[in-house]
């Protein structure tokens, strides 16, 4: 086993879970915080800043791109990764919507 049974959940549950999952790694949190602190981002800076190998950072960036949080623009021989603000806000809202609609209690 070891496979998440995505077929028994609805699309929204899977999407929400995937989003949470991508944010569920300290390196990816750190990457987002660092990109935010700077005004431009270059992957190579991240390697020094975060302290993981270049291949590893590149992999984490790919996952952040997979949910649209980052957009990359080629800038000469460099890559400029930035936060996609529209997506960022949309995700925050989607997440708050989950929190607000799922908080009834019993005991």
Partner DNA sequence: TTTTATTATCGTAATATTGCGATATATAAA
Partner DNA sequence: TTTATATATCGCAATATTACGATAATAAAA
In 3-state terms, what secondary structure has residue 30?
A: helix
Query: What is the Cα–Cα distance from 37 to 100, expressed in whole angstroms?
Result: 29
**Residue from 16, 23, 68, 72 binding DNA (CB under 7 A):** 72
> Residue 27 interacts with a second copy (CB under 8 A)?
yes
Token pair 């431009």: residue: 40
| Minimum distance from residue 36 beta carbon to a second copy (Å) | 4
Q: Is 67 exposed, middle or buried (0-12, 13-18, 19+ CB in 10 A)?
A: middle
| Minimum distance from residue 7 beta carbon to DNA (Å) | 10
For the beta carbon of residue 94, count every other beta carbon within 10 angstroms: 14
| Minimum distance from residue 29 beta carbon to a second copy (Å) | 5
> Residue 31 interacts with DNA (CB under 7 A)?
no
101 binds, among DNA, a second copy, none (CB under 5 to 8 A by kind): a second copy
């Amino acid at each position: 086993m070891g496979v998440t049974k995505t077929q028994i959940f609805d699309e929204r549950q899977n999407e929400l879970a995937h989003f949470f999952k991508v944010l569920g790694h300290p390196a990816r949190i750190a990457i987002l915080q660092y990109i935010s602190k700077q005004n431009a981002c270059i992957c190579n800076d991240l390697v020094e800043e975060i302290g993981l190998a270049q291949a590893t950072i590149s992999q984490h960036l790919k996952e952040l791109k997979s949910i649209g949080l980052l957009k990359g623009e080629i800038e000469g021989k460099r890559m400029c990764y930035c936060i996609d603000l529209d997506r960022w806000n949309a995700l925050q809202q989607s997440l708050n919507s989950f929190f607000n609609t799922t908080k009834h209690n019993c005991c």
